[in-house]
Structure 1
Amino acid sequence: MPTSSLTLPVRRLTRADLPAALDLAADRSWAREAHKWRLLLSAGTGYGIDAPADDPVGGLIGAFVLTPYPGYRCVSMVLVARRHERRGLGERLMRHAIAESGDAVVFLSATDNGRPLYEKLGFTAVGAVTTLQGPFTGADPGQGDTFQDDGHGRDGVRVRPATAADMPGLLALDRPVFGTDRTELLARLPSFADRLAVAQAPDGQLTGYAASWPNVTTTVIGPVVAQDLRTARALISHLGAAATLPLRYDVDDRHPELAGWLRSRGLSGDFRCTLMVRGATDLPGDISRRFAPYSVALG
């Protein structure tokens, strides 16, 4: 008799499990996002279920990642091998994630396929993001949001590459915008990202920051934190001008003007994820200044 996947133990993953995690993602027609998985397995904790001995394929048959923030946990990369789907394995993985989260508020980005399960487990929808992709055609000089390569922009705005000296200011800027402390994750940003830029006021105060990082066939822009839309566009223009691959940008529904601006500059798409929370009425922080997540897997 075949072994039931519901009786198999859930174990913690290590970075040595990266090849198996990528195989599981590919089994679900997800991209083999090795760069992102390395970050997730370092900054968070991966959990997985190994295939039973009588499984002809082997490897992982289920997985998820739990990323901790003070008072919050983010669940991502929830995967079940196709040959084991519709047997309750996804629910088992999510119940394990909830149990591991303790009293913390849990949040995630749900596809349409996953949303019914998350609703069953007590998650509620609080928003949505749309993934836009394409070659970035640049900013329109007539709109006042083109920025010189030397970092000096119009209207007193300056965008430049970040340095190590910027990290304390970047963290101070980020904390009220994200809603909780993500120092550990942001400290990994300089090595994870291809480029990290900051916007700076004439008095030297940081007014925003953004990063771009490689992900298989695209350059992802995120996170983006800025004091206003114009500063966010400046940061995006700065990073987009340097990208050698098409851009990917995950834009929140609560920033329709930014979405329109991105579409007018070459990006398109309609793939959506629902933002869901369990244990609170909404995500923390200030959405008016949070223009892009680190990634949809991290918030």
Structure 2
Amino acid sequence: MSEAIVEPALSLRAAEPGDAAACQRLSKAVSWPHRAEDCALAIRLGRGIVATLDGTIVATAMSWPYGDSHATLGMIIVDPGHQGAGIGKRLMQALFAEVAGRSLLLNATVAGRPLYEKTGFVPCGGVHQHQGVVPAVPAPALNQSERLRAGSPADLALLAGLDTAASGLPRDKVLAALLEYGESVVLEREGVAVGFSILRRFGRGFAIGPVIADDIASARLLTAHWLHSKQGEFVRIDLLAGAGLDGFLVEYGLACVGVVETMVRGDKPVPAGPSKIYAIINQALG
């Protein structure tokens, strides 16, 4: 009599800082660009769940709560060798339990959209991923009433106010980490801050985001500042669909290489304005 084959049991547990390398391995397996450092920051800022088989991490999913009403979901990855076995569905159920009572937002790839639709998500927008090696870009031209200055962690309350007005969400914790981890620039007009942007290392080079501004001209200034400073470097920026910066970025060497669909389960946040989001932090954090 032949022995029965015992399939290994799938286990779910909370993500830990030491899981960053495994998360990066999964990211690479699905052709995402995250470094281990990028995964570590995502774990630090949110609540992650990993699925293991025989002690090996084969899937991840993360959430980032913003206040009591909303959360974003991301880093939802199943190892290609284990896809189709229902692991993604189990992870989503675990995430829903983790963020119960909140409306949920995510950015869906073509491959992930069917799963999200089955769990109650509906389209509500999109994101255009632009990237490339930056050519020669002129310094932004300011008028007499405008000033670009370096930001710092001491600007957190100021920038969080602009960000909340643009996003409708309290994202202070994430912004605090980005201000420490990256560089920021603030646009002032007649002495009043009207926008800001943040640059940090990410993936193959650098990422710009968020870009928060009162109008598209301000958004271009805040973006051009970083492009001018990073000539010859690989830069990525994720624009909100309809933001109006696509042509501007293509002109300066950052082609659109992908489009994802923003989806919501529940209510979208309601921004108060007048500041707006032109580029998001990234596709996971929103």
Q: Which residue of 2 aligns with 1:33?
A: 35
State the Cα RMSD in Å.
Answer: 1.9
- TM-score, length-scaled by structure 2: 0.91
The alignment-based identity, stated in percent, is: 29
User: Shift of the alpha carbon at 1:138?
Assistant: 5.5
Note the alpha carbon deviations across 1:250-299, whole angstroms, 9 max, x for none.
Answer: 112121x311111112111231111000012x344259710111111100
Task: Map residues 113-262 of structure 1 onto 2, 5 A cutoff.
Answer: 113-137=111-135, 146-147=140-141, 153-193=142-182, 195-202=183-190, 204-243=191-230, 245-255=233-243, 257-262=244-249
Aligned residue pairs total: 279
* Aligned residue in 1 for 2:66: 69
Counterpart AA for 1:220:
A
Q: Which amino acid aligns with 1:73?
A: A
Aligned to 1:55: none
Task: Indicate how the Cα distance of structure 1 residues 276 and 97 shifts in structure 2: closer, same or farther if over 3 A, else same.
Answer: same
Pairwise CA distance, 1:26: 2.2
- Shift of the 232–60 alpha-carbon distance from structure 1 to 2, 3 Å rule, reads same
More strand by share: 2
Q: Kindly tell me: are residues 235 and 100 of structure 1, through their superposed partners in 2, closer, same or farther at Cα, counting changes over 3 Å?
A: same
Provide structure 2 residue ranges, at least 5 long, that are not aligned to the other structure.
none
Match of 1:232, as an amino acid?
Answer: A
Q: Could you tell me which residue of structure 1 aligns to residue 91 of structure 2?
A: 93
SS in 2 for 1:188: helix
Structural mapping, 1:14-53, within 5 Å: 14-52=16-54
Counterpart of 1:150? none
Amino acid in structure 2 at the alignment position of 1:59: T
1:136-189 CA distance string (max 9 Å, x none): 34556xxxx824xxxxx2252211111344222112211111101111111111
| 1:126–1:283 Cα contact (<8 Å) kept | no
TM-score by length of 1: 0.87
Pick which of 216-225 and 24-33 moved more.
24-33
Query: Which of 101, 104, 107 is the aligned partner of 1:106?
Result: 104
Alignment gaps of 5+ in structure 1: 53-57, 148-152
Q: Secondary structure at the match of 1:177?
A: helix
Q: Which residue in the other structure is 2:254 paired with?
A: 267
